[in-house]
Amino acid sequence: MISTFLKFKQYVATVIIVGSLGSCSSDDYNDTLNPGLDPGSRWITVAGARMGENPGDGNGGTLIYSVTKEQAKDPSVSIAPFDNGFIVPSNRTARLQSSEDGNTIFNISYAGDTGGNYTKYTVNGGQGFMSTGSEISIAPYVGTAPRWIKLFDGDQTGAAVYVSTENEFDANGDYVRTDATIGVVTLDLQNSIINSFEEHSVALTAQEEAAGYYISRIDMPVLNAAGDKLYIGARLSKVNPATAEGDSDYPILGSKTIVLDYPSLLNPTVISSTIGHGNTNGYRSINAFLYNGSVYQANQSDPEGSHILKIDANNEYDSTYDFNLDEALGVNDAYILAWRPAGNGKAVIAYRHAGSVEGAAGAQGFFAIADLNTRTAQKIDAIPYHPDFYLFQYQGFVVDGTDIYVTQAPVGQNGNIYIIDTETGNVTKGAELINVEGSHFIGTF
Amino acid sequence: MKYFLFLVFIFLSISMYAQEDTVTFTGNILDESHQPIFGAVVIFDNYDQIATSDEDGVFVIEDIPVGTYSIKISYIGYKTVSKTIEINENSTAQNTSFKFIMSESVEGLDEVHIAGKSHKRNVEERGFAVNLIETKEASFRNIQTNELLNTSVGVKIRQNGGLGSEVTYSLNGLSGSSIRIFIDGIPISSYGSSFSLNSIPTSMIKNIEVYKGVVPGYLSDDALGGAINIVLHKKATNSLNASVSYGSFNTTQSNFNGNYRFKNSGFTIKGSAFYNYSDNDYKVSGRSVVVTGIGGVQTPITARRFNDAYRSTGGIFQVGYTNVKWADQFLVGFTASDDYKEVQHGAFMTITPYKDRFLESDALLANVIYQKKDLLTKGLNLNFNALYGARNRSINDTVAWAYSWNGERAIDFRGDEYQYTWGSQQEGGPTLAKIKRNVASVRTGLSFTINHHHKILFNHIYNRIDREDSDALKSVLENTFQGTRDLYKNIYAMTYEMSAFQERFKASIFGKHYRQKTTSTDPEIVEDSNGSDVVVDEVVSSKNNFEGYGFATSYAITPDFTLLTSAEKAIRLPNETEVFGNDGDNVVANSSIRPEISDNYNLGFRFGEFKINKHAFTISTNMFIRNIKDRIGLPIETSLNVDDELIVYVNQGNAKSKGIDAQLNYTYKNNFRFNFNISRFDLTTTTASGTEFEIPNTPFLTMNSGLSYSLKNVIQKESHLNLFYSIYFTDDFSYLTSQGANTVGDDFFKVPEQFVQDLGLSYVFPNKKLVVSLDVKNIFNRPVYDNLSVQKSGRAFYFKLNYSINNF
């Protein structure tokens, strides 16, 4: 009896051991592409977003892979982050940032059990990303799905924001306004500690509030030239005051930005543009940049097409600076998906417009080169635009002097890195990007 | 070893029904000590009919014409009893009893060739891919209903924490709303979460039927991937049973079941009650279990869960008549239940555990049951079950203070205690949301047996849920304009069952007609004829009618080798949120949304019971395919809809699950048992260009095994000691889509392999009234994760006392 018992125990154990061995996989892959860095070179980290269930959804993981500048420029080099890359630990598409020199990647995990965790990685080339610094989380301040961005202060600070809203009623039960409470946290990227956190109730004008307008989403903090104010982009929504239910088809107000003292994060005010109408909170890519003493900010969902708006050193919108992309490009319903200026005031803009083809994952995207000073823009024709080329989730542009590096690949198809010399407008085709089905590239870092 | 003599008392009651010359013959099989014998096989009139005794020792043989019959009763370990009985029109006097004496012998053991089939085997050989889970043994032990289900082949339970926490059921890879759960054929959505598999003790349950992929007509609902039916006890004999269990994490589970039937009148009183409580304060650790200090510096800790307590109470009370001339069962009664569950975290364990967020639910339902065999004419059986009442559910989350995993107020980077910006524990703001539902469910089953080989069944279920939402933290205005959603379902099923070739071939063919009506009522402001604003309800209805069909067949190649195959075109109707959207989530109506459709196929065999000397084996296996189209989901975010205030549910995906379930049962003599089962499947989705992708977050390989051994006469004579050992294995799986061959960083997304071992013993005292059991779960204190990286409890101890009296 006992021996029978033991035999069965062994049998079960064997079955289970065999089963578990079968499921193990060994990934003893070593970098084959880790040449080290020559003086004058830098790392270019390519990021891709793998398909989850639908082409272009990017929900199957964010993968990164680094090559040298020279390799990135070499069309004979092939880069395959989906096969060989490092999976960034983030439950949903990571919002990546990189140091200005490209040697460090910063990430804050988006959603999941570690949502809000900040980690930085030293770039070692290929799939080698070494985690450095201690673990820290901004989830207690801005939730587990934080909207964060790196400030342009020499890679010192990251800022993340949160807004929660609540409808307010008077003693008779009538709608008064919708309160928007914002939370802003800044963190020391170098030392992995929280710098500051403040909360404020942010009001619109009494008239706007009475009509039911409120700030429903905020994102894309940026510092002014003096470094004493932080601008935060905003999206407005509206409730119907009669029912307190969400409204649709309402007049779009002038674009708005929340202005806070920095680094104290106190004294919030709201500034409003008379030029652009639409949201200034962007999506996943930095939406506002400092150039020549002013902050240039793109807006989205503008009924007249996206504008690039200018906020001057006096921390007010410049009502004389009118840079409308529809006019500059001669298209309708231009929508800036992502953009980046170089230090010369020339910028690369990823956009779509009314003429975009509806591709595998949404509207076809294009790149344009723009000049912030002359308020002009031209579509870059040297880059191919397949109907499935889609830039909605596009995040990263490497700026190396006056060169800007972008990724180009239709959803599920191979493509290339392209290097745009913003000074001359010359476009160079760089390394090949190897894609996998349903996936897309989201930029360079 | 010395032989023991057992006396078996068989009380046979013969009752005459309305028909002229057939009777229904009911017997009660008991052993020497008046304990019922469960599973004894009764062979009536040289295999004309076969019955098995239930846990009360009761068997029923129907439709016997007046005459003289032979009856043979056998049970392993007891000597077969043979008897000739004369049934004439004068033997209508109820409760005529016969007394048999039989003795156990070694020869007796060898002699028993069970020609009859157990209820379990009968169900499992009808052709469906079905598990029949018997609860008898578990009811004496510290085993919860969900745990019992989880060990059944092809079933995976994913629970978000300890006792009472949210559960998702998965059958062969399909889960969530694809799986419908019933209590006695009534959809569990009518009962609410307070009367659920979390709270109902196993001792209230007779058995659990798990139909995988193909669901018979009598379980009428839009079950895309299968159904789980909890069959509650229908005993009509006098019995009293009580148990109390206490163990780790301050877990108490107690219940009481009582039945009393007045022999002369048939008047029956039945009552069951349960009470469950657990602190669920088991230890957890891991990457998100940290305490945050000044500057945000994190220190990992091992923490006790501090906001996870669960309490549930409930019961059923019924009165009526059983086994009387005009009804086999006529019972009216009510079901009442109430529960409270603290919520420690959301779908994931994050660094911000919740404090004082809790859910409450209660239900009060009236019910009527009527069952009658041979109604009006011979072979016509009626089964009617109706339920009406209200159930409520509330969410309470009003504490803004942040708490740390050590259970104390958390400090921010400055070292101060702080409140969340969103004013509540879960992001989204404070809430006192209440959902009130009025429910009605009426289930009718009518079957007509034409002869031994042909049977027609008609089933109908009407299910209605009126839903009303409110939130005490919202203004009158907001609550006024809160919409309501009602759901009405009428499902009709017609089944034809047949058998041929001396019962070797069995088939059932069924068609189901689904009619669903959803109604949304949204108050809105309109101008009346005088030009002033008035609030009117905008009522919109949507109707969906669909058909499904399927079959199940079995063919016994030899008496011990049966081929089973079944298939169904199954559907899941879009629910009220998918049709009408949800104001809170800015989801709007899509009246053209179609149901999810799945073509389900099963092919399997059952081999056994195969015997070599004292060894007996049963092997069964099932291969399955589930092909799902038109999956309902929200569209992906694009630049065109990112700022849209409103989105709609759409039919956008497909999925395929294919795999195999297999199980082995082995017994040696009658006291050693071993079982093993394995379930392996692939759950994939196919892209427009035809590539298959694995759907992540799916535990695709599970194995369970159990050993039990029973000893007699330990410590005291005529006592029984049962020893149990179980192992559960779940292979590792990732909650991220599978990645390229050479990628790194996959480990972050992996739920590690799980291997848990439990030990248990139960001791039956010689009087057979008292059973004591002790269970040690997860004896090696291994980390267990049912769901994502949510950790379950480590080693735990439970002690249980059962007391039962039968036939007083």
Residue A113 domain flag: yes
Between the alpha carbon of residue B717 and those of residues B32, B671, B721, the distances in Å are 14, 17, 11
CA separation for the pair B516, B337 (Å, rounded): 28
Q: Which A residues 266-295 touch B at CB under 8 Å?
A: 279, 283
Residue A24 domain flag: no
B102-154 pLDDT, tens digit each: 555 444 334 334 345 677 777 888 899 999 998 888 888 999 899 999 999 99
Closest chain A residue by Cα to residue B701 = A19
Residue A12 domain flag: no
CATH topology of domain B5-112: Immunoglobulin-like (2.60.40)
Domain count, chain A: 1
Q: Are B743 and A335 within 8 A, CB to CB? A: no
Interface test with B, best of A23, A53, A138, A181 (most B CBs within 10 A): A53
- Residue B88: pLDDT band by 50, 70, 90 thresholds? low
Q: What token pair was written down for B457? A: 């069944």
CA of A2 to nearest chain B CA: how many angstroms apart?
11
AA letter at B802: N
Residue A94 touches partner B, C-beta closer than 8 Å: no
CA of B646 to nearest chain A CA: how many angstroms apart?
8
Nearest to A329 by CA among A375, A296, A298: A375
Q: Are B523 and A362 within 8 A, CB to CB? A: no
Radius of gyration of chain B (CA): 28
**Predicted confidence (pLDDT) at residue B70 exceeds the cutoff of 80:** no
- Residue in B402, B636, B645 nearest the CB of A248: B645
Closest chain A residue by Cα to residue B755 = A16
Chain B residues closer than 8 Å to A173 by CB: 475-477
Domain B239-806 belongs in CATH node 3.30.559.10? no
CA of B688 to nearest chain A CA: how many angstroms apart?
9
Positive or negative, the Cα torsion across A311, A312, A318, A322? negative
- The DSSP-derived string for B450-482 is EETTEEEEEEEEEEEEEEEEEETTS-HHHHHT-
**Predicted confidence (pLDDT) at residue B473 exceeds the cutoff of 60:** yes
Chain A residues closer than 8 Å to B729 by CB: 16, 19-20
CATH code, domain carrying A95: 2.130.10.10
B31-57 mean pLDDT: 71
Residue B704 CB-half CA count within 13 A: 19
Res B234: pLDDT: 82
Residue A59 touches partner B, C-beta closer than 8 Å: yes
Residue A11 domain flag: no
Between the alpha carbon of residue A402 and those of residues A204, A344, A347, the distances in Å are 39, 7, 10
Between the alpha carbon of residue B386 and those of residues A229, B459, B493, B494, the distances in Å are 67, 13, 17, 20
- Residue B648: pLDDT band by 50, 70, 90 thresholds? confident
**Predicted confidence (pLDDT) at residue B12 exceeds the cutoff of 80:** no
Nearest to A16 by CA among B153, B702, B776: B702
Q: Are A140 and B402 within 8 A, CB to CB? A: yes
Residue in this structure with the two tokens 């700030």, named with its chain if needed = A215
B222-240 mean pLDDT: 89
Domain residue ranges in chain B: 5-112, 122-232, 239-806
Closest chain B residue by Cα to residue A198 = B421
CA separation for the pair B477, A156 (Å, rounded): 47
Res A20: pLDDT: 41
A395-402 mean pLDDT: 95
**Predicted confidence (pLDDT) at residue B36 exceeds the cutoff of 90:** no
Residue B203 CB-half CA count within 13 A: 28
Residue A71 domain flag: yes
How, if at all, do strands B303-304 and B785-787 pair? unpaired
Res B270: pLDDT: 94
CATH class of B122-232: mainly beta
B340 vs B31 pLDDT, higher one: B340
Q: Are B744 and A52 within 8 A, CB to CB? A: no
B678-696 pLDDT, tens digit each: 999 999 988 877 888 888 8
Interface test with A, best of B344, B477, B641 (most A CBs within 10 A): B477
Do residues B305 and B325 lie in contact, with contact meaning Cβ atoms separated by under 8 Å? no
Chain B residues closer than 8 Å to A56 by CB: 636
Residue A236 domain flag: yes
- Residue in B586, B703, B742 nearest the CB of A19: B703
Question: Range with the lowest mean pLDDT among B58-72, B275-289, B781-795?
Answer: B58-72
Residue A1 domain flag: no
**Predicted confidence (pLDDT) at residue A167 exceeds the cutoff of 80:** yes
At residue A326, the 3 state secondary structure works out as: helix
The answer to whether B5-112 and B122-232 have equal CATH topology is: no
A53-91 pLDDT, tens digit each: 888 888 889 999 999 999 999 999 999 999 999 999 988
- Residue in B422, B646, B687 nearest the CB of A437: B687
* ipTM of this predicted structure: 0.88
Q: Are A392 and B638 within 8 A, CB to CB? A: yes
Residue A311 domain flag: yes
> Chains A, B: CB contacts under 8 A, how many?
241
Q: What token pair was written down for B21? A: 């010359």
Residue A300 touches partner B, C-beta closer than 8 Å: yes
In chain B, what percentage of residues exceed pLDDT 90? 53
Closest chain A residue by Cα to residue B644 = A248
Residue A361 touches partner B, C-beta closer than 8 Å: yes
- Residue in A16, A50, A362 nearest the CB of B638: A362
Most distant CA atoms of chain B, gap in Å: 99
SS (H, E, C) B173-185: CEEHHHEEEEECC
Q: Are A63 and B348 within 8 A, CB to CB? A: no
Interface test with A, best of B284, B736, B782 (most A CBs within 10 A): B736
CA separation for the pair B408, B28 (Å, rounded): 60
- Residue A17: pLDDT band by 50, 70, 90 thresholds? very low
**Predicted confidence (pLDDT) at residue B93 exceeds the cutoff of 60:** no
- Residue B42: pLDDT band by 50, 70, 90 thresholds? confident
AA letter at A195: N
Supply the range of the domain harboring residue A194: 31-444
Res B585: pLDDT: 62
Closest chain B residue by Cα to residue A30 = B742
Res A22: pLDDT: 38
Residue A363 touches partner B, C-beta closer than 8 Å: yes
Q: Which A residues 124-143 touch B at CB under 8 Å?
A: 127, 134-143
**Predicted confidence (pLDDT) at residue B96 exceeds the cutoff of 50:** no
Q: Are A245 and B583 within 8 A, CB to CB? A: yes
A21-58 pLDDT, tens digit each: 433 333 333 334 445 688 889 999 999 999 988 888 88
Q: Are A87 and B745 within 8 A, CB to CB? A: yes
Radius of gyration of chain A (CA): 24
Q: Are A141 and B421 within 8 A, CB to CB? A: yes
Q: Which A residues 240-259 touch B at CB under 8 Å?
A: 242-248
CA of A293 to nearest chain B CA: how many angstroms apart?
31
Q: Are A279 and B583 within 8 A, CB to CB? A: no
- Residue in A19, A91, A183 nearest the CB of B701: A19
CB-based burial label for A325 (10 Å; 0-12, 13-18, 19+)? buried
Res B586: pLDDT: 66
Do residues B292 and B315 lie in contact, with contact meaning Cβ atoms separated by under 8 Å? no
